[in-house]
Chain A
Amino acid sequence: MKQYWKDYQKEIADDNYFYVRSCIRQNFFPGAENLFIDILKNKLGKTVFEDAEHTTCTGIGYHTDVVPLETTMTVIARQFALMKEKGYRNMIASCVTSFGLYSEVLDMWKHQPELKEKIAGYLMEATGRTFEEPENMVHASDILYKYRNEIASIAKYKLINKTTGEPLKVVDHIGCHYAKTFPERGVGGSEFPQVLTGLITAWGGQTVDYPERRHCCGFGFRNYLVQPNRGYSISQSKIKLESMKPYEPDLIIANCPGCSMFLDRWQYTLEETEGAVYGTCGNKIPVFTHEELAGLVLGYDPWEIGLQTHQVPVEALLDKIGVEYNPDLKYTDRQGNLIGEPELINQHVC
């Protein structure tokens, strides 16, 4: 009996990971990556190594055509070289664009070995390094997917409305470069990816299918980064938000840092420019990354994991789940002192 895509499982290594960070996730969700590392090390007992010498994969530069193919390939080869040097075979990419790009580069090298040779030559010439392809290369959300049941078994909270007892309605948004580029590199293929629905279901929530589920969030690289082009970007997110609104989702999660950022920020912009609000009771819909969702159910402190950096306030959701938090510590530093002038932020919560 042929296996259907939605049941498709991919190989995910079970330990000894080499972790490469994401430019966007570090900038806009500064709590997320250390949280991910902490969950892996201290809750799941895994070995995760971060090499301080690693850099951006140049993905954003590649997709804005300011970094040519061979440069990107050589930078990626350098990442692999660092990994080899430290004795690791399994890579975790935090960024979805990186994950897609590593996949594409590995695929091109498979079909054009002479290109791989050429890149090896460039790397040697520029850095004196040699590289090996990883044995296993996955996205961070794949790891959480793999251990979703273990996390569920030690979770403090569930994705359930504590007042009504109903599972929360969660929209899962999959970054385009996760499975559209190589469906066999995504859990569940490209049409009905399971990597986030698996987490949602394991942690007590229910997923929402809506017509624009597969539509791109609209990052569009140059279509956001260059100011006059931003209309494209906001329009694509608006299409998604309008489509999901009737389903009254409690929360959105996304595995790509860009997607999380855009779905979060554009709700603010759409309210400012059009008065449009997509959640219930005049609220916006909170947007979480997969690490943040894991951190939430595991009982980490919301401000420790960076939820205060979201443009869409999260308090209403935290209250819905019954997560304990101290509102006074939201905009403070480690010592509990207020940072800057947070009163200018003026976020309203229903």
Chain B
Amino acid sequence: MEILRQIQADPRYDESCRSCLNCGVCTAICPAAGYFDYDPRKIVNLVREGDETTLTEIISSDLIWYCGQCMSCKPRCPRGNVPGILIQILRTVSINSGLFAKSGLGLQQLVLKRGIGHNILETGYCIHPTRVDPAVHPEQGPVWEWMSTNADQVYSRFDTGYDKEGPGLLRKISPKALGELDRIFDVTGCKELWRKIEDGAAK
């Protein structure tokens, strides 16, 4: 019962997955339920049922990757469950077990790790104008293209400290701070997670 054990051992389990009335208020306002063939209520029920085979199947499928993490479910649940947080637990177990690589959406973790993940350690930000390429973001529009192409000038207009050390708009975060982030990512197991993502996806 390894998958179930891992799910229940997560520190977020008690606050997110209690008992389900099956009232459906979560699915009713879930943006993902209105867009995908996805039902957060069913996910909570399946985890409560605790069948190892079913759970293994779920975390190997696209099903756990639809949630947009909006937490609209949280204030409504009459039993105090939070499907959005339970999904985070399932995703964590999916990555740690390598099963994320069996689904198309799960494999996207590689893209996100190399994008957001690397951004954080390389710049200290999750997003940086030099890394939001208009070519793969046409939906951002022509204004963004202008901003991104002329980043130095545009951002300096608002703060001459742009991309320099010291406080200010999109400051260059110091090597010391980046070093601390790097060590934190090491010590807390994030680098380990990243190895799992790279290795899992490579298979």
List residues of A whose CB falls within 8 A of some B CB.
23-24, 26-28, 30-31, 33-34, 50-56, 58-61, 63-71, 73-75, 78, 100, 108, 111-112, 115, 122-123, 125-127, 176-177, 179-181, 183, 190-191, 214-216, 218-223, 225-227, 229-236, 239, 265-266, 268-269, 304, 306, 308-311, 331-334, 339-342, 344-347
Contact = CB atoms under 8 A, between A and B. Distances in A.
Contacts of B12: 69, 108
Give the residue among A56, A234, A340 with the most B Cβ atoms within 10 A.
Answer: A56
Given A26-B170, A65-B92, A183 B143 contact: no
Give the interface residue-count category, chain B.
35 or more
A23 B147 contact: no
Given A100-B71, A125-B187, A223-B32, 9 more contacts: A24-B127, A28-B144, A56-B126, A66-B117, A67-B190, A69-B92, A127-B180, A226-B108, A309-B143
A55 B143 CA distance: 27
B167 A181 contact: no
Interface string B126-164: 111100100010011111111101100111111100000
Interface in B84-117: 88, 91-92, 95, 105, 108-109, 111-113, 115-117
Contacts of B186: 126
Given A65-B88, A70-B188, A339-B153, A127 B74 contact: no
8 contacts: A26-B169, A50-B168, A65-B88, A69-B88, A225-B116, A226-B112, A268-B139, A333-B156
Interface of B: 10-12, 15, 29, 31-32, 34-36, 65-66, 68-72, 74-75, 88, 91-92, 95, 105, 108-109, 111-113, 115-117, 120, 124-129, 132, 136, 139-147, 149-150, 153-159, 165-171, 173-174, 176-178, 180-181, 183-190, 193-194, 197
